[in-house]
Amino acid sequence: MTHRHLLLLPGLALLFHGCNSSLLQSRVSEGTIEYALSFPGYDPNGLMAGMLPEKTTLSFTEDKQAAEVSAGMGLFRTLMLADNESKQMDYHMSMMGKRIVSHLKPRDLELFNQDYGTPTILYTGDVDTVAGYPCQKALAVFNRLDQPEIELWYTDRIAITDPNWFNPFTEVPGMLLRYEVVQNGIRMKLDAVSVTPGKVDPSKFLPKSDYQAVSADVLHYELGEVMGTFSM
């Protein structure tokens, strides 16, 4: 081996070490995640199948999340603004000109997560890549016989404080990139297709002023009425 090659080897070692310690181990603290939505078990020939949403977009910083869903050709929309530090959420819903918002705290969210029962999280050694991010697999097993287990794929490369505090999988120590939720009897799978790091406009996380404030019970009822139409 020539002296020139010997000189290059330390440089290559430093390069790869730099990749391992910075690029490969870096964590994203701000950006946008786009999830594809699907509905396991839903009849594709159902009357309302064509009205179901196909995607959702989540904007995030280290301590805030804003998730938007649009369905029924834009007639039904939800916007969830979560403050992870104060553990509060503003849940906006608009439907056919009706606009309501509820200011939710952890105890209120039990009402929306009641379809699950109590999950036990089992951690596995399985790994996969979702939207370009390394993920670990966990299983949510429920104490209700009618609720099948749910696969949870999460990553530690997205730096969000307590990202799951408002869902039934609160103890999972990472951002969920592939998972399922059940609400009002409808099972929905979320599968991240892209993660775009970058500055998010702070106005994304501001509550909307033109929505009528309602209680958690009223919001839950109204959501149930809308989800019932999709079950047809």
For the domain spanning 31-230, the CATH number is 2.50.20
- Rounded distance between C-alpha atoms, residue 60 and residue 160, angstroms: 8
Residue 44 in this model has a pLDDT that exceeds 50? yes
Report the DSSP beta bridge partners of residue 125: none
Mean pLDDT, rounded, for 20-34: 74
Instruction: Tell me the pLDDT tens digit for each residue of 93-138.
Output: 998 889 999 999 999 988 887 766 678 999 999 999 999 999 999 9
Query: Considering only 47-51, 151-155, 170-174, 222-226, which range has the smallest mean pLDDT?
Result: 47-51
Amino acid at 26: S
pTM as predicted: 0.84
Residue 17 in this model has a pLDDT that exceeds 50? no
Token pair belonging to 141: 């097993």
3-state secondary structure 35-92: EEEECCCCCCCCCCHHHCCCEEEEEECCCEEEEEEEECCCCEEEEEEEECCCCEEEEE
Looking at every residue in the chain, the average pLDDT score rounds to 84
Confidence of residue 46 (pLDDT cuts 50, 70, 90): low
Instruction: Tell me the pLDDT tens digit for each residue of 176-221.
Output: 999 998 876 778 899 999 999 999 999 999 999 999 999 999 999 9
Mean pLDDT, rounded, for 54-62: 96
- Rounded distance between C-alpha atoms, residue 94 and residue 111, angstroms: 20
| Sheet with strand 31-38: strands edge to edge | 119-130, 133-142, 150-155, 175-183, 186-197, 31-38, 55-60, 64-71, 76-83, 88-95, 98-104, 212-213
Cβ atoms of 174 and 154 closer than 8 Å: yes
Could you give the 3-state DSSP secondary structure of residue 193?
strand
- Rounded distance between C-alpha atoms, residue 157 and residue 21, angstroms: 13
